């Protein structure tokens, strides 16, 4: 197979657009040796949104029902960009139909569901991927390499956070992300899973944790037709809906390698349009990252001479993993959409060549275990062990 035929599900949404773009864009940067993809089907349930889909992927079939794409014999890869609560059902149907699956995060509503998906994929020899794109920024490949080569010694402490202010305003409209029926774990599955993906990528498995989750605004006005984070003036006649999943969480965790973690994330941090940061402290050095300087890693090492020690700033560039495919100079900045292009390229390469990649549904399962543990711990108000 030299060309993977893809169906993008939820095609008019934010991720649907980004994934559709990524399949078309990646050969421009990575060349044909990574393979090629053709977006052959776009699935969108909302007829208004679907109206302008055709131009995004010329020649693609436009469908309303995801099951039609799953049953289409001319599709190799099902790409799930649907609301969270559909991920498990659609991924399972796709795997059982013999399709490779690339699923947006969170992989499933529970770890048990994620385990089932990973087992089906393994039994059928299918390629799987979860859409944790942030760690695929080459700056994090460098962080992982520095850790793997022992340059910061044994990791003792991992601190991380991710915040947005989408729901900082108590009058910000209700959307599916706040609905426990459509997004059962709320911010934990939405944003927490991104932080958990960094934990898996940089530190390793989590063995136990204690979490406090909270809802800041129990009811929100319902305004239809708004996208992520969009606001509008209220008329006063809106219906109100209950927020039925967490707005934020604070977590302490322990890793299998003895490191400790301090994590917080929320959608209510007024003024924080997008904040993502981590700090990794080891016995010989440390690493510090913030999304505000998206391709820059701060590295401290005890190997520097006394009196000359301090954090050095490394701007990743063409010498660092996938950066060269995009730009010949450091500090020109790769952004979010490039990480999605890298992700799509890795999925297609893995299908065509069998090259291993991260994160598959195995990693997705561990991340779902962490989500389960957070929800259990918050409910039980105690430490929870991860099997």
Ligand X SMILES: NC(=O)c1ccc[n+]([C@@H]2O[C@H](COP(=O)([O-])OP(=O)(O)OC[C@H]3O[C@@H](n4cnc5c(N)ncnc54)[C@H](O)[C@@H]3O)[C@@H](O)[C@H]2O)c1
Site residues (CB under 6 A) for ligand X? 9-10, 12-16, 43-46, 49, 66, 81-84, 86, 104-105, 131, 133, 190, 228
- Give the nearest residue (CB) to ligand X: 13
Structural element, H or E, at residue 7: strand 3-9
Find the shortest distance in angstroms from Cβ 39 to ligand X: 15
Say how far apart CA 134 and CA 215 lie, in whole Å. Answer: 26
Would you say 12 or 295 has its CB closer to ligand X?
Answer: 12
Minimum distance, C-beta of residue 217 to ligand X, in the bound complex (Å): 20
CB 15, min distance to ligand X, A? 3
- Taking the least distance from each CB to ligand X, the nearer of 105 and 140 is 105
CA distance 358 to 97: 23
Residues in the chain: 387
Cβ proximity to ligand X, 213 vs 286, nearer residue = 213
Closer residue to ligand X in complex, CB, 82/111: 82
Strands (E), 34-105: 36-43, 61-63, 77-80, 100-103
The candidate with the shortest Cα–Cα distance to 121, out of 362, 374, 370, is 362
Cβ-in-10-Å burial (0-12, 13-18, 19+) of 350 comes to buried
Task: Output the six-digit token pair for 287.
Answer: 């690493």
CB of 187 to ligand X, least distance (A): 11
Nearer to ligand X, 86 or 117 (CB): 86
Find the shortest distance in angstroms from Cβ 201 to ligand X. 14
Distance of CA 260 to the CA centre of its chain: 22
Query: Which residue number, 130 or 155, has a Cβ lying nearer to ligand X?
Result: 130
CB of 18 to ligand X, least distance (A): 8
Place of tokens 């979010």: 336
Between the CA of residue 354 and those of 23, 199, 346, 347, what are the distances in Å? 18, 25, 10, 10
């Amino acid at each position: 197979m030299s060309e993977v035929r893809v169906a993008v599900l939820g095609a008019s949404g934010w991720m649907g657009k980004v994934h559709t773009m990524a399949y078309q864009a990646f050969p421009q940067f990575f060349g044909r040796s990574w393979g090629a993809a053709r977006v052959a089907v776009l699935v969108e349930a909302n007829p208004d949104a679907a109206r302008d889909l055709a131009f995004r992927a010329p020649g693609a079939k436009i469908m309303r029902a995801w099951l039609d794409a799953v049953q289409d014999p001319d599709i190799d890869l099902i790409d799930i960009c649907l609301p969270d609560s559909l991920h498990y059902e659609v991924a399972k149907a796709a795997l059982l139909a013999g399709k490779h699956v690339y699923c947006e995060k969170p992989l499933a509503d529970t770890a048990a569901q994620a385990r089932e998906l990973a087992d089906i994929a393994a039994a059928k020899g299918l390629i799987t991927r979860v859409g944790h794109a942030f760690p695929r920024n080459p700056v994090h490949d460098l962080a992982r390499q520095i850790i793997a080569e022992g340059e910061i010694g044994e990791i003792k402490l991992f601190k991380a956070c991710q915040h947005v202010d989408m729901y900082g305003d108590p009058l910000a409209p209700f959307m599916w992300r706040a609905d426990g029926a459509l997004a059962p774990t709320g911010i934990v599955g939405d944003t927490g899973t991104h932080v958990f993906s960094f934990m898996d990528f940089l530190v390793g498995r989590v063995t136990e944790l204690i979490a406090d989750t909270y809802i800041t605004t129990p009811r929100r006005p319902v305004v239809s037709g708004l996208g992520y984070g969009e606001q509008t003036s209220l008329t006063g006649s809106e219906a109100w809906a209950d927020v039925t999943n967490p707005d934020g969480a604070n977590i302490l965790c322990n890793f299998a390698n003895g490191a400790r973690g301090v994590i917080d994330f929320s959608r209510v941090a007024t003024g924080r349009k997008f904040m993502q940061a981590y700090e990794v402290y080891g016995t010989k050095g440390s690493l510090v990252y913030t999304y505000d300087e998206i391709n820059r890693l701060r590295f401290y090492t005890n190997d520097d001479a006394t009196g000359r020690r301090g954090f050095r700033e490394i701007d990743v560039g063409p010498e660092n993993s996938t950066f060269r495919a995009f730009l010949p100079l450091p500090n020109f900045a790769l952004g979010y959409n490039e990480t999605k292009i890298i992700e799509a390229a890795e999925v297609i390469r893995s299908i065509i060549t069998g090259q291993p990649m991260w994160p598959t549904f195995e990693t997705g399962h561990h991340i779902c275990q962490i989500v389960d543990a957070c929800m259990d711990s918050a409910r039980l108000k105690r430490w929870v062990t991860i099997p």
